[in-house]
């Protein structure tokens, strides 16, 4: 196996690749756009993009590499794929929720999932909630799960209250 193998997600946009990459790097720390490639004259019959327009944008979100492609309207995002953002505390979870939901689809928000303004789905996942949901005490973990299912934005304290509630 080659030690240089990397998995780099490629996100297909109609024509918003640069705007999306710029937005995403503004949301996450230690992030940057690393390269922009532009369409040329070649292949115009297939891609239909004007020469000089953005073809791909390579960027990093907190060290994770991504490519954004302006591929046209042929494919769109759906909820079958989402980006998970793990958070250590409520302030971080609220920060990412607020930033990523801005201009997004409010009807596509449930259980910490959201859809941003570009149609990409995200999960805001507090690590403490993940621990509660996977706790071996199934009574407690199911109470936490029921609490999460009733939420849009995850409220860690409310999930903890449900998890730690006295048994009836």
User: Could you read off the pLDDT of 53-105 as tens digits, one per residue?
Assistant: 999 999 999 999 999 999 999 999 999 999 999 999 999 999 999 999 999 99
Candidates 3.40.640.10, 3.40.50.1820, 3.10.180.10, 1.10.10.10; CATH matching 77-168: 3.10.180.10
Give the whole-angstrom CA distance, residue 151 versus residue 93.
Answer: 13
User: Could you read off the pLDDT of 18-58 as tens digits, one per residue?
Assistant: 999 999 999 999 999 999 999 998 888 888 889 999 999 99
* Same fold flag, 1-75 and 77-168: yes
The residue ranges of every structural domain in the chain are 1-75, 77-168
| Architecture per CATH, 1-75 | Roll (3.10)
Q: Give the model's pLDDT for residue 130.
A: 97
CB count within 10 Å of CB 51 equals 10
Contact indicator for 13, 69 with CB cutoff of 8 Å: yes
Nearest C-alpha neighbor of 119 from the set 1, 16, 10: 16
Give the whole-angstrom CA distance, residue 63 versus residue 71.
Answer: 24
- As given in the structure block, the two tokens for residue 21 are 């990459």
């Amino acid at each position: 196996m080659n030690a240089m193998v990397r998995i780099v997600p490629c996100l297909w946009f109609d024509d918003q690749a640069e705007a999306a990459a710029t937005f995403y790097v503004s949301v996450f720390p230690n992030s940057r756009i690393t390269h922009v490639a532009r369409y040329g004259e070649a292949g115009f019959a297939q891609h239909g993009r004007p020469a000089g327009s953005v073809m791909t944008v390579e960027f990093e979100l907190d060290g994770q590499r991504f490519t954004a492609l302006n591929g046209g309207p042929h494919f769109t995002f759906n909820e079958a794929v989402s980006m998970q953002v793990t958070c250590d505390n409520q302030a971080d979870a609220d920060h990412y929720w607020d930033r990523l939901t801005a201009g997004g689809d409010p009807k596509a928000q449930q259980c910490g999932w959201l859809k941003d303004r570009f149609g990409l789905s995200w999960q805001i996942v507090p690590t403490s909630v993940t621990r509660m949901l996977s706790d071996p005490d199934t009574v407690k973990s199911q109470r936490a799960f029921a609490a999460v299912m009733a939420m849009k934005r995850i409220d860690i304290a409310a999930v903890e209250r449900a998890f730690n509630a006295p048994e009836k």
